[in-house]
Structures are given as structure tokens and as C-alpha cells.
Amino acid sequence: MPDPRVSVGVHRRIRPATYLFFFAVIAAVVFLTHAPLLRVPFYWDELGQFVPASLDLFQTGAWISYTTVPNIHPPGLMVYLAGFWSIAGYSIPATRAAMLLMASMGAFFTFLLAIELGKEAAGFPAFTGLLLLCVSPLFVAQAMLAQLDMPAMVFSCLSLLLFLQNRMRSAALACVALVLMKETGIVLPAVFGVWLAIEKRWKDATFFTAPLVPLVVWLAVLHRATGHWAGNAAFEQYNAIYNLHPVRFALALVRRLYYLFAGSGHWVGTAALVYAWKHTLIFRARGWRVAGLIAAAHVLVVCAFGGAVLERYLTPLLPLLYIAFAVALAACPRRWRTIGPLALFAMLIAANFVNPLYPFPWENDLAFATFVSLDQKAADFMENSYPNATVATMFPLAGALRRPDFGYVTHPMRVHDVEDFSVKSIARLVKDKPDVLAVYSTAWDPLHLLENKAIRRVLTKFYGYEPQAGREEIMRLLGMRAVAHWELYGQWVEIFAAENGRPRTITVQRF
């Protein structure tokens, strides 16, 4: 007899051709919407960690990176990219295509999961949830970036889908792939195992101990090679300990909850969730209870670990979030079933291009492409105007200038790294003054929130924040002139050089 605690619906046998058709349509949409960005050079952690680590594996077979600082992240993404490059060859468009293929799989699994979770809902929540996901700014940005969070979303979605279909062995294998992509993915098999243990399905629960094996093996290999379980002491301190401070943890939690339930128009879906919870029993079903537990556990883990508190760490929850919004909107009164999804859809599209009114990571929307475009202009200018100069700048531009295979320069430049662009860091350059200094905007702050005394006091006390040095301070401290300046959609980059005579100034402004 079937276990009465497991809700298993009637699944019609679907032909493989049908699955292939829907995947092809979804992939075509994902690739076409990103086509103008296929040649965008690598951004931030792509060029700082994941692409160089993947190149080390691709070019020399090194599992532990030697051209960048190794850390705890498992090698799943690196294996995937190296395998893709072995077929398509290494290039920026090939890397973008590899990640878009991964994102297409994630969108396809989201569609199937929406069918599973929304089978009791009215209307067509599977299509609504899929559309909301595909236009959401975090998905649009992360879909093409060679980082861990999109692959984590793919295998999280697949694991939950297989779990709800009572295909436990397959779900456990998907969880193995998940933890090989990102270590925090261990949350999913832990939740599955505990849930099944509560249901006294002991044999099925044991399947979800399997993902521990490759993760432990990887940590052992990493420790043997580096002497650190996290790969290096700085990574361990910042990502495993830093956010455990109660104030930082609380602020991270508030930031997570705001992004999930208010930002980018999400408040529309949240209002529908509240209505559906009060007036229906949809979200009391077993599938949604499992999904809710996974979401809560994931949020707590990424609040506690990951010092940068980046929104991209929430990417694995996007399918659940938009499916829940779609199901809840379908449960609303007839008038809001149409207005609500359209309003949320429009606000999500706008959020790709219209930045919020507060500081945020550029990679949360298409602002990252603006950042890369400005760095490209600066790199091209410095390479042509100062080819033999020592350039002082901060990561990621510093890394971009060192390696031509990142898409910014045609030959390596001499780079002096600075920690940040604060007055203290700029003043340290006085003793060994570089030939050129490249400075760029590090925060989006149209309301000047970072100038508020109370906010700055909190940021300084708990995050070590220091404001960026201004143009006049830089010129006074270093005796340099501003020789080039570009602005684009509220971001800017400026080049200073120790030149005599009238400065050459280039200004590009677009609004």
C-alpha cells in the first residue's frame, strides 16, 4: 500500500519529445534575451575566483587552483566549465553559453516543479511562475555569470522535484550534484533526511547521507593541499565566522527578508501569499511544507555564512518564491488574478534596468554590465596611453588588468593592489607612488544614505566602512591629475596620472 503520509498525485506518462519541446522553447527565450550580452567580459568573482580556478583545471588538470586563492567551494562548476571548454574551446562567449545552458535547465525544472506544487491551484501557475522567474533581475543577471548560485538553483530545484515525486534515489543523486556545486547545498539533503526520519521512512532517509561523502572527500583534499578546511584562513574568518555576530546576523536576515518579500515588486506576491494563506489551504499541503522548511533553512544558513551578504546567495530560492507567488495570485479574487501577475511582471522587468534607491551589489540586475563597460573603457585607455605604467587600483579591475583572457586588455599590465579607495588606502600610496591610479564608484547611493551619521556609525562599527576619497583629496595626496573620466547610468570611473602640463580629460556621460 502507498504510504498515507506521502501525497503522490496521478502522473500521466509524458513523452520525451514533449519535455524536449518545452526545454527548447525555454532555452531559446533565455539565450535570445541574453544575446546582446554574450561578449561581456568577466565580472567580479568570475575573474577573481571561478574562471581562473576553472582555467587551472582546464589547462593543467589542477583541482586546487594556483592562479587564485583556493577556498572551500567544491569543484563542480569548474569541472562543468572545463568540460564545456574542452568541446567549444575557451572564450568569453563560450563561458556565457555554458552558464545560459545551465540557467535554461533551471528554468525548465522550475516549470516542472511549478506543475508539481501548483496542481491544486486554479489557472496556469506553472506558466506564470516560469515567466516571473525568467524576467526577475537576479535570474537575468546570474543566468550568464560563471558563479555557483545558478548551478545551485538548478540542482536544488531538481532535487525537490524528484523528492516530491517520491523518487528518493534520484533525489539523493541530484543532491550529490548540488553539494559538488556549492557546499551550502548540504541544507537540502539535511532537510530531506530529517523530514523522512520524522515520517519514519528510515531507509529513504539514509539515501540523503550520500551527499556528505563527496563533500567530506573534497574538504579532506583541500585541507591536505592548503592546510585549511576552508582553503585559506581569511576565507574562513570572513565567510564562516564574521556574520555570526548577532548584529550582523540580524541585519543580514532583515536584508534577506526584504529582498524576498518586498524588493523588485515582490510585495505584490507577498500580499497575495498572505491572502492565500488566510483563505485557502493550498500552502498546508506536504509539498509546500517541505518547500517552506527548505526556504527557511537556506535563509538562515546564508545569513550565518557568507560575509558579503550577497543577494545572489538567494538564487536557489527563486523558483520556490515565484511559484509561490503564482499559486497565491491564482487564489486571489478574479480581478486580482489578472492585475496582480501583470503588475508584478512589469515591476520585475523594470527592476532589471531601474536601480533601487539604496546601495546594492551591481550583480543584482543589469548594472553589472554597466560596471564592466566602464572598466573596459578604463582598461583600454590605460593600456594604450600608459602601456608600461604601474597602475594602482582595487579588485576587480586590478585582476582584469593582469590577465588578457578576462577580456579587458591584450597584454598584462603591472598592477599595484589597493584594499579600497578610502583616504587611508590612498595615503599609503604616497611612499611608493604609482604611475597611474584608477578609481571607480563602489556604491550606488542616490539618496546619500551613506552620508547619514547614524547609518555611517553602524556601518563603521560593525563592517569597518570608510567613505571613498574624493577627487580633490586624491590629487592633493598624490600630486596627480585627473586625465580621464567616464560616467554611465550613475556609475563612473576616473583615471589619475602623474603628468605635467594640461591634463587630457575624456568625459562620457549618458543618463
* Terminal CA-CA length for the chain: 66
Q: What are the grid coordinates assigned to 336, written together?
A: 486580482
The answer to whether the peptide bond before residue 316 is cis (omega within 30 degrees of 0) is no
For the record, the C-alpha cell of 108 comes out as 525548465
Lowest mean pLDDT among 148-157, 299-308, 343-352: 299-308
pLDDT in tens, 288-331: 999 999 999 999 999 999 888 999 999 999 999 999 999 999 99
Residue pLDDT, tens place only, 219-275: 999 999 999 999 999 988 988 899 999 999 999 999 999 999 999 999 999 999 999
Pairing of strands 390-393, 436-440: parallel
The full set of domain ranges for the chain reads: 16-361, 366-508
The whole-angstrom separation of Cα 38 and Cα 369 is: 11
Quick check: 12 pLDDT over 70? no
Q: How confident is the model at residue 124, as a pLDDT?
A: 81
**What is the model's pLDDT at position 5?**
52
Q: Is 8's pLDDT higher than 70?
A: no
pLDDT in tens, 408-454: 999 999 999 999 999 999 999 999 899 999 999 999 999 999 999 99
Q: What is the pLDDT of residue 510?
A: 44
Q: What are the helix (H) ranges across 432-489?
A: 453-463, 471-478
| Whether pLDDT at 7 is above 60 | no
pLDDT of residue 4: 45
At 503 the pLDDT is 46
**What is the C-alpha separation between 283 and 312, in angstroms, rounded?**
26
Whose cell is 585582476? That residue is 399
Exposed/middle/buried for 504, CB within 10 Å: 0-12, 13-18, 19+?
A: middle
**DSSP structure string for 149-187:** HHHHHHHHHHHHHHHHTT-HHHHHHHHHHHHHH-GGGGH
